[in-house]
Amino acid sequence: MTTATARISRPGHAIAKPSRNKATRERALAWARRAPLLPALIFLIIVTQLPFVVTLIISFLNWNSLSPGTTGFAGFENYVTVLTDPDLRQAIFTTILLTVAVVLASLVVGLGLALLLDKKFIGRGLARTLLIAPFLVVPVAAALIWKHALLNPTYGLINGVLTWIWSLFGSDTPPQLDLLSQAPLMAVIISLVWQWTPFMMLILLAGLQSRPMDTVEAAQMDGATPWAIFRHLTLPHLRQYLELGGLLGAIYIVQNFDAVFTLTAGGLGTANLPYAIYQTFYFANEYGLASAAGVVVVIGTILVATFALRTVFSLFKKEAAR
Amino acid sequence: MSTLSPAAARITPEKSSTPAGLRRRGKSRMDPTRNNTAAGIAAWLLALLFATPVLWMILTSFHSETDAATNPPSIAANLTLDAYKEFFGEASGVSPWPSLINSATASILSTVLVLILAIPAAYALSIKPVKKWTDVMFFFLSTKMMPVVAAILPLYLFARTVGALDNIWFLILMYTSMNLPIAVWMMRSFLAEVPVEMLEAAQIDGANLIVTLRKVIAPVAMPGIAATALICFIFSWNELLLARVLTGVVAGTAPVFLTGFVSGQGLFLAKVCAAAVVISLPVLFAGFAAQDKLVQGLSLGAVK
């Protein structure tokens, strides 16, 4: 801090003492610039990178804390198990399916909502606030509400509304759903789409509002239809925002634990990798296996993150150029 | 520029004389300054649909247990505070207060720690950028993209070995590392908004760092810092996996407390809703307060 102060307040000093210790001064200056950065950087390296290195090491060990005698080097055995064990392989497929379905559905619905909210209408601010609400309920609480208040087969709101609508037509045999036991993965997907659509909507709305209106107006002058304007102007402009929303959404949803844990407790083929890993080390005490599965998640995330980083970078460069 | 152009669009078609039919039609659909009734109705219907689970949660929390669990739903049932009394009352067995206090402690203290670490870092990355600052930014981002599950076992083993399991301070450190990258990214984008001319002017006037920070940087960056703090608070408050693995009886947070309701049967629906409302309230307030910056935080400052 103090060296940085010195740098700002003593520009004359540099002229007074020229070449002799110029190199030392420049080095000191570089460190003065770096110093404020270091605490955050060092802290993050210790708390996030070090544990992952340990995970990597453990993933090559045979280590079940319940049978300490058998601990030893396992080579790629854990990785083979992750890829061949039916439960863990199922967890990999579930993770991919869950992530892709939630991201695509919430992107499409979010795009529709963003296009609507980009127009001016009465009470737009309030409508926007209502739309953000799903994203602001604590995730465990949201999952609990879906499980007990909405999807419960006997008194949940969804079946309740079905009963009510059918009774309006004089029927006392309304269709009653039981998603949680008949299509549990669908239940998880629906609750996550509900929760993540606002996120996509906000990103896409930011994209829409940064759209240069002069080209749109020029297109209108030339008699372009709204669809043509959307297809050839809006959508290309939104592409980066769609990519960013999709990739960030994917990175967050791959890691989802709360919804799976709360809605189904991983039952009936809904266990994704985070939940499976949690179970493998927390209940089964299979440390080596859990670590290998963790490394698999990281490899998958790196694949997605590489694209995400590129997208963020292009937006970032645009901003830096301003 | 963009605020001026709609007005320009309104003037131009009237000035020109030739084929106006197409233009008018296009304009009436696209002009953002015009009320659009159809879009408004559609948006409102969807907004209500999306808000229904939240509104239903709030309504149910004010119903009695018997009115809460009916099919068809009893919307017009009498309102009561019973579920809240039951939730906070000692009669229910476990008091939610320790977990709420733990959540508040963990969220607030980790947010303070994040700000202490992130503000100087963001300063070094924007106002006096270090060499290769973009590389540093992407390193921060990459730590955020690593799933928690990939590091949780060593953290758990470490905490168990040093006796930090079920200790709120260890959780605070974890939350700090979880939010630090987001905070650095957001804060950098806010500090980058400080005009260079203002900084140069301050330097020419001989202002030292403290004065520059207080008079030039703080006024521009303060709203952004506040929004960053709110977003870090939300993330910490919401977090479940780390809390579930690293805490237990003593340091359990509100989301961990909520997991006690996972297998709760229908008899306590109103209480479940009351619990969900109480625990979501701080986030709802913080989120609505920071909603303009929320997307910036979630997209790591890449989108404004």
Q: For the segment A65-79, what is each residue's pLDDT rounded down to a tens digit?
A: 777 777 778 778 889
* Predicted pLDDT of residue B82: 81
Residue B146, chain A, CB below 8 Å: the answer is yes
* Predicted pLDDT of residue B24: 42
Q: What are phi and psi of A64, to 5 degrees?
A: -115, 120
B16, B149, B160: best to mutate for the A interface, most A CBs within 10 A? B149
Task: Give the amino acid at B5.
Answer: S
3-state helix, strand, coil in chain A (%, to 5): 80, 0, 20
Closest-CA distance, A268 to chain B, in angstroms, reads 16
B8: confidence class by pLDDT, cuts 50, 70, 90: very low
Residue B198, chain A, CB below 8 Å: the answer is no
Tokens of B129: 């950028």
Q: Which residue of A has its CA nearest to B29?
A: A226
* Predicted pLDDT of residue B13: 40
Q: Does ipTM surpass 0.85 in this model?
A: no
Answer whether residue B273 shows pLDDT above 80.
Answer: yes
Of A119, A135, A157, the CB nearest to B56: A157
Nearest to B270 by CA among B64, B96, B77, B92: B64
A13, A26, A29, A44: best to mutate for the B interface, most B CBs within 10 A? A44
B267: confidence class by pLDDT, cuts 50, 70, 90: low
A312 vs B contacts (CB less than 8 Å): 141, 299-300, 302
Tokens of B275: 């619990």
Q: Which residue of A has its CA nearest to B210?
A: A5
pLDDT in tens, B25-36: 444 444 555 558
Closest-CA distance, B91 to chain A, in angstroms, reads 22
Q: Find the mean pLDDT for residues A129-146.
A: 91
Report CB contact under 8 Å: A33, B130: yes
Q: Find the mean pLDDT for residues A5-23.
A: 53
Of B145, B241, B284, the CB nearest to A308: B145
Residue B212, chain A, CB below 8 Å: the answer is yes
Nearest to B140 by CA among A48, A243, A241, A33: A48
Per-residue CA distances from A254 to A49, A153, A300, B83 (Å):
20, 28, 9, 35
CA distance B39 to B136: 44
Q: Find the mean pLDDT for residues B257-263.
A: 83
Report CB contact under 8 Å: B145, A251: yes
Task: Give the amino acid at B85.
Answer: K
Report CB contact under 8 Å: A138, B298: no
Chain A, chain B: beta-carbon pairs less than 8 Å apart: 379
B20: confidence class by pLDDT, cuts 50, 70, 90: very low
A318: confidence class by pLDDT, cuts 50, 70, 90: low
Of B2, B138, B241, the CB nearest to A309: B138
B44, B123, B146: best to mutate for the A interface, most A CBs within 10 A? B146
Lowest-confidence segment of A102-111, B237-246, B260-269, B288-297 by average pLDDT: B260-269
* Predicted pLDDT of residue A316: 66
Report CB contact under 8 Å: B142, A290: no
